[in-house]
Amino acid sequence: MGIKGLMKLLADNAPNGMKEQKFESYFGRKIAIDASMSIYQFLIVVGRSGTEMLTNEAGETTSHLVGMFSRTIRLLEAGIKPVYVFDGKPPDLKKQELAKRYSRREDATDDLAKATESGNKEDIEKFSKRTVKVTSQHNDDCKKLLRLMGVPAVEAPSEAEAQCAALCKAEKVYAVASEDMDSLTFGAPKFLRHLMDPSSKKIPVMEFDISKVLEGLELSMDQFIDLCILCGCDYCDSIRGIGPQTALKLVRQHGSMESILENINKERYQIPDDWPYEEARRLFKEPLVVTDDEQTELKWAAPDEEGLVNFLVKENGFNIDRVTKAIEKIKTAKNKSSQGRLESFFKPVSTSAPVKRKGTKCVLVSPSPVTKFKTLSLRSRPGVLGRLIFPSLELGSNYSVPLSRHFCFGI
DNA sequence: AGTCTGACTCAAGACGTT
DNA sequence: TGCTCTTGAGTCAGACT
DNA sequence: AATGTCC
Q: What is the pLDDT of residues A43-67, one digit of tens each?
A: 999 999 888 899 999 999 999 999 9
pLDDT digits (tens, 9 = 90+) for A312-354: 999 999 999 999 999 999 999 988 777 655 554 443 333 333 3
Which bases of strand D sit closer than 7 A to a protein CB?
A: 1, 6-7
- On whether the CB atoms of residues A130 and A108 are closer than 8 A, the answer is yes
Q: What does the pLDDT average to over A352-359?
A: 32
Of A89-93, A187-191, A288-292, A383-387, which gets the smallest average pLDDT?
A383-387
Rounded Cα gap, residues A351 and A344, in angstroms: 9
Per-residue pLDDT band at A395 (split at 50, 70, 90):
very low
Residue A357: other Cβ atoms inside 10 A: 11
Q: Return the percentage of chain A with pLDDT > 90, whole number.
A: 61
Return chain A residues 135..164 having CB < 7 Å to nucleic acid strand C: 135-136, 139, 161
Q: Which ranges of A14-120 does DSSP label H, i.e. alpha helix?
A: 35-45, 63-77, 95-118
Helix/strand/coil for A49: strand
Predicted pLDDT of residue A123: 79
Predicted pLDDT of residue A199: 67
* Separation of A64 CA and B13 C1' (Å): 10
Predicted pLDDT of residue A331: 95
Predicted pLDDT of residue A339: 67
A264 is near strand C: CB distance < 7 Å = no
- Name the residue with the least CA to C1' distance from nucleotide C8: A179
Rounded Cα gap, residues A411 and A259, in angstroms: 54
Judging by beta carbons within 10 Å of its beta carbon (0-12, 13-18, 19+), is residue A337 exposed, middle or buried? buried
Per-residue pLDDT band at A394 (split at 50, 70, 90):
very low
Per-residue pLDDT band at A237 (split at 50, 70, 90):
confident
Q: What does the pLDDT average to over A272-288?
A: 92
H/E run at residue A329: helix A320-344
* Separation of A211 CA and C16 C1' (Å): 34
Predicted pLDDT of residue A274: 83
Predicted pLDDT of residue A189: 97
Which residue ranges make up each domain of chain A? 6-343, 360-410
- On whether the CB atoms of residues A260 and A20 are closer than 8 A, the answer is no
Q: What does the pLDDT average to over A369-386?
A: 31
Q: Return the percentage of chain A with pLDDT > 70, whole number.
A: 82
A408 pLDDT more than 70: no
- On whether the CB atoms of residues A381 and A370 are closer than 8 A, the answer is no
A387 pLDDT more than 60: no
A69 is near strand D: CB distance < 7 Å = no
Per-residue pLDDT band at A307 (split at 50, 70, 90):
very high
A145 is near strand D: CB distance < 7 Å = no
A324 is near strand D: CB distance < 7 Å = no
Rounded Cα gap, residues A24 and A388, in angstroms: 25
Predicted pLDDT of residue A340: 55
A240 pLDDT more than 90: no
Predicted pLDDT of residue A266: 80
- On whether the CB atoms of residues A287 and A162 are closer than 8 A, the answer is yes
Predicted pLDDT of residue A327: 97
Which bases of strand C sit closer than 7 A to a protein CB?
A: 3-9, 16-17
- On whether the CB atoms of residues A361 and A216 are closer than 8 A, the answer is no
CA-to-CA separations, A349 to A1, A25, A208, A344, A410, in angstroms, rounded: 36, 10, 18, 9, 22
A211 is near strand B: CB distance < 7 Å = no
A204 is near strand C: CB distance < 7 Å = no
CA A24 vs. chain centroid, Å, equals 18
Bridge partners, A155 (sequence order)? A86
Return chain A residues 239..258 having CB < 7 Å to nucleic acid strand C: 241
Which bases of strand B sit closer than 7 A to a protein CB?
A: 3-6, 10-15
Of A150-154, A272-276, A314-318, which gets the smallest average pLDDT?
A272-276
- Topology (CATH) of A6-343: Rossmann fold (3.40.50)
Write down the mean pLDDT value for chain A: 81
Higher-confidence position of A24 and A113: A24
Q: What does the pLDDT average to over A226-255?
A: 92
